[in-house]
Amino acid sequence: MKQGVVYIIECSNGAFYTGVTNNLDERLNLHHRGLASKFTARKLPVSLVWNSDEMGIDDAILLEKQIKGWRRAKKLALINHEYEKLPDLARRYSFKNLNLSS
C-alpha cells in the first residue's frame, strides 16, 4: 500500500502551504529550491512547521484537503499541538456578531 505524509510549511511572508508527499525530505528540498509549487516559489524561504505521521495515501490526500479548508487559527492550533482548541475552531464562522453596517 502506498504511503503519504501531510505537511505544512510556512513561507517567508507568513502564509501556510499544505501538501502531501510520499517522500518528505525530497519534497522539502524541491520547495527550498523553488521547484515544488508556484505558490511557495514566490515566497522563499520556507520552513516545515508540521507534518503528520505516515498513513495510507488516500487518507493523506483527504487530510490535506481538509486542512487546506481550515482558517489560519485552526492551522496554528494544529501546528502548536493545541488539539483541545480544534473542536471550537471547527465550528462554522458566525456572522451574527459582525457589524456589517457602513
Report the CATH number at residue 48.
3.40.1440.10
**Which pLDDT belongs to residue 91?**
72
How far CA 76 is from CA of 9, 55, 70, 85, 99, in Å, comes to 12, 22, 10, 10, 26
- Asked, for residue 50, whether it belongs to a domain, the answer is yes
**Which pLDDT belongs to residue 12?**
97
> What's the CA gap between 70 and 63, in Å, rounded?
11
Q: Shortest CA distance to 52 belongs to which of 90, 78, 17, 70?
A: 78
Q: For every one of its 102 residues, what pLDDT tens digit does the chain have, with 9 covering 90 and above?
A: 899 999 999 999 999 999 999 999 999 999 999 999 999 999 999 999 999 999 999 999 999 999 999 999 999 999 999 999 999 888 765 555 455 554
What's the domain count of the chain? 1
33 lies in which domain range?
A: 3-70
- Asked, for residue 79, whether it belongs to a domain, the answer is no
- Asked, for residue 85, whether it belongs to a domain, the answer is no
- Asked, for residue 64, whether it belongs to a domain, the answer is yes
- Asked, for residue 93, whether it belongs to a domain, the answer is no
